[in-house]
A = this chain, B = another copy of it.
Amino acid sequence: MPEKPKILNKKVLATTRLFCIEALDLEFSNGEKRTFERLARSGSNGAVLIVPMLDAETVLLIREYSAGTDRYELGLPKGKTEPDEPILATANRELKEEVGYGARDLVHLTTVSIAPGYLEHTTDIVLARDLYEEKLPGDEPEELEVIPWKLSEIPDLLATGECTEARSIAALYLTKEFLKA
């Protein structure tokens, strides 16, 4: 593996409530220099994506409006960690807020990056099992529809055209592999 580029300089170009854009002046190990822009993680808060299994075969999806793409998306529940909140606690809280269930069994499957070329953000994927009904109030502008789906029928889910998020697709396949092993 090559030696990592040196970060010669880091500059904040713009900051908004949600985003922080940085410019990085980089020098690669071969001497080449480049300036790359990226979105820095605002604060230290991460994001969690939850795979809630109602039973051994059935995952619970939600249908939620996505402002980035301006459409409703069918996918896995997710949310941001509060300051000092452990990952599994975030997963259980968001599950209660978005899906109306808590989980007695929470397993951290892996951490994925989203667009590592220009986003510092990563997402922790948490498998939630042994569910029980519990609803917490969230900050969602509208009630989310919860849709059970068979984990064996991911191709049919993708064929609907409603489930497009790479993180959700990756998490569903990773869960299949994990449950098979």
Contacts and interface: CB of A to CB of B under 8 A. Distances in A.
Interface of A: 1-2, 4-5, 7, 13-14, 16-19, 21, 23-24, 26, 28-30, 32-34, 36-39, 63, 65-73, 78, 110-123, 141-142, 145, 154-155, 158, 164-167, 169-171, 173-174, 177, 181
A39 B24 contact: no
10 contacts: A14-B19, A18-B37, A28-B142, A69-B116, A69-B122, A113-B164, A113-B166, A114-B165, A115-B119, A123-B166
A121 B14 CA distance: 19
Contacts of A29: 142
B167 A174 contact: no
A167 B21 contact: no
Task: Please give the count of copies of this chain that the complex contains.
Answer: 2
Contacts of A167: 114-115, 166, 170
A151 B9 CA distance: 39
A78 B104 CA distance: 40
Contacts of A36: 67
Contact of A63 (B1, B21, B68): B1
